[in-house]
C-alpha cells in the first residue's frame, strides 16, 4: 500500500499569510508587517484588530482567495519528487465555503497529480503516514493519536514535540523557506517511519 503524505494548504503549501497582511494593511491605514507580531501569538485576528484592521477574517471569505498567489518556493518540486517515488500526496485544509473552490483550483493547477483534497478542521481523524502542517494545535492533536508530523516555521511558531512524533526544523528557519530546507527524502523517511 502506498504511503500517504498529507499537506496543509495555508502557510505550508501556499503563502496566504503575506496577502492577508496586505489585505489588513489596506483597512488599517498603516503597513502591517510580520516582524511586528509578538512571538507565539497564535490567532492573528485580535492582533490585526488591535492594529486598526477592520474585519480581518473577511480576507478568508473571498471567493478568489487563491487565484493570484503561488505555492511556497520549491514545494511543487519536493512533492512531485515524493509522487515520482510512489507516495500519495493529499491536501488536508480547513476551508470556509466561500474560498474552498479557489483552494481546489489552486491545487489542481500547481500539483495536478495529488491524490485527494480534504476540507476539515479535524485532521487527526484523516488517515495518513505524515502530515506537514504549520499549526501547532493541529500537529499536537495528531501527535496525541501517535501520528507523525513535520512542522514548518511560521511567524506564530511554537516548538512542540509530543511523544516524539513531531519533527521541527531549526527555529532560525525563515517563514516561506521550509520547502528549500527539507528534502523529499526526509519527508519520505518520516512517512516510512524509518530513522531520521
| pTM for this entry | 0.87
Give me the pLDDT at residue 121, please.
94
- Identify whether residues 91 and 170 lie together within a single domain: yes
Residue 58: pLDDT over 80: yes
pLDDT of residue 164: 53
Question: Do residues 95 and 9 both lie within one domain?
Answer: yes
User: Do 131 and 8 form a contact (C-beta atoms < 8 A)?
Assistant: yes
Give the mean model confidence (pLDDT) for residues 135-162: 73
Domain co-membership, 27 together with 124: no
| Count of CB atoms situated within 10 Å of the CB of 133 | 27
Q: Tell me, yes or no, whether 116 and 134 share the same domain.
A: yes
pLDDT at 163 over 50: no
- The pLDDT assigned to 90 comes to 98
Residues 37 and 133 in one domain: no
Give the C-alpha distances (Å, rounded to integers) separating 162 from 93, 167, 194. 22, 10, 18
Residues 6+ apart with CB under 8 A from 8: 91, 92, 93, 123, 131, 132, 133, 134, 135, 138
Query: Does residue 55 share a domain with residue 38?
Result: yes
Higher pLDDT, 136 or 15: 15
- Return d(Cα 133, Cα 154) in angstroms, integer: 10
- Same domain for 107 and 80? yes
* 28 in the same domain as 123: no
Q: Are 192 and 129 in contact (CB under 8 A)?
A: yes
What confidence tens digit (pLDDT) does each residue in 10-38 have? Answer: 989 999 988 999 999 988 788 888 878 87
CATH for 159:
3.40.50.1000
Which of 57-66, 127-136, 155-164 is least confident? 155-164
73 and 164, same domain (yes or no): yes
Task: Quickly state the pLDDT bin for 86 (edges 50, 70, 90).
Answer: very high
Range of the domain at 46: 17-61
What mean pLDDT, rounded, does the chain reach?
Answer: 86
- Do 177 and 166 sit in the same domain of this protein? yes
Whether residues 33 and 115 share a domain: the answer is no
Q: What total number of domains does the chain contain?
A: 2
Residues 129-156, mean pLDDT to the nearest whole number: 84
Q: Are residues 10 and 24 in the same domain?
A: no
Amino acid at each position: 500500500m502506498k504511503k500517504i503524505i498529507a499537506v496543509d494548504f495555508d502557510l505550508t503549501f501556499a503563502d496566504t499569510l503575506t496577502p492577508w497582511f496586505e489585505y489588513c494593511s489596506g483597512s488599517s491605514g498603516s503597513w502591517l508587517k510580520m516582524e511586528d507580531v509578538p512571538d507565539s501569538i497564535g490567532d492573528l485576528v485580535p492582533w490585526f484588530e488591535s492594529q486598526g484592521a477592520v474585519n480581518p477574517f473577511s480576507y478568508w471569505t473571498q471567493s478568489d482567495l487563491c487565484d493570484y498567489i503561488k505555492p511556497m518556493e520549491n514545494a511543487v518540486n519536493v512533492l512531485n519528487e515524493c509522487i515520482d517515488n510512489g507516495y500519495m500526496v493529499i491536501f488536508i485544509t480547513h476551508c470556509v465555503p466561500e474560498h474552498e473552490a479557489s483552494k481546489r483550483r489552486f491545487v489542481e493547477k500547481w500539483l495536478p497529480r495529488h491524490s485527494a483534497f480534504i476540507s476539515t478542521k479535524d485532521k487527526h481523524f484523516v488517515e495518513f503516514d505524515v502530515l506537514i502542517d504549520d499549526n501547532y494545535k493541529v500537529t499536537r492533536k495528531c501527535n496525541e493519536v501517535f501520528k507523525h508530523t513535520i512542522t514548518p516555521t511560521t511567524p506564530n511558531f511554537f516548538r512542540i514535540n509530543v511523544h516524539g512524533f513531531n519533527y521541527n526544523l531549526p527555529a532560525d528557519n525563515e517563514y516561506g523557506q521550509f520547502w528549500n530546507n527539507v528534502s523529499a527524502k526526509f519527508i519520505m523517511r518520516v512517512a516510512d517511519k524509518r530513522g531520521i
